[in-house]
Amino acid sequence: MADTIQFDLVSPERLVASEPVEMVVVPGGEGDLGVLPGHSLLIGTVRPGVIDIHEGGKVKAQIFVAGGFVEVNPETCTVLAEEAVPVGEIDKAQATERLETAKKALSDAADDKAKSDAEAAIKVAEAMVAAVA
């Protein structure tokens, strides 16, 4: 078994990360998903949260994702994210403002679609605020 697995993180704007890693922990739709070299095949959803990239037994990088999909095979882990930003680049005040804006959108929602969109925006904003807390 290899010592690393290829990790690729892609957002609509850019390739956020592409590197061999010892382990990556992805916030999966059903719970956190630790991916090591040799992992079995998997396709799943990603919930809003933080991806931890491990090296030397420690977290070397953290990247916030707003949701998406993950595909894993024994050699690679690919995350297709709706939005991705390194945790160190998140401005806490802007994240808090984003949450307040989403809450206002929910209170102003005129129909089920607007309510659903606002609820999704709240989940993302809450996860972003938690990432920088």
Give the tens place of pLDDT for each residue, 17-35: 999 999 999 999 999 999 9
The count of other CB atoms within 10 Å of the CB of residue 1 is 7
pLDDT of residue 79: 98
pLDDT for 38 beyond 70: yes
Q: Check residue 46 and give its pLDDT.
A: 98
Summarised one tens digit per residue, pLDDT across range 84-130 is: 999 999 999 999 999 999 999 999 999 999 999 999 999 999 999 99
Span 43-62, average pLDDT: 96
Quick one: pLDDT at residue 15?
96
Instruction: Yes or no: say if 35 and 72 are a contact pair by the CB < 8 Å rule.
Output: yes
Tokens representing 8 are 């690729």
Is the full-model pTM beyond 0.75?
yes
How far is 49 from 75, CA to CA, in rounded Å? 24
To 10 degrees, the CA torsion angle through 123, 27, 14, 99? 20
Return the structure tokens found at 43: 């396709």
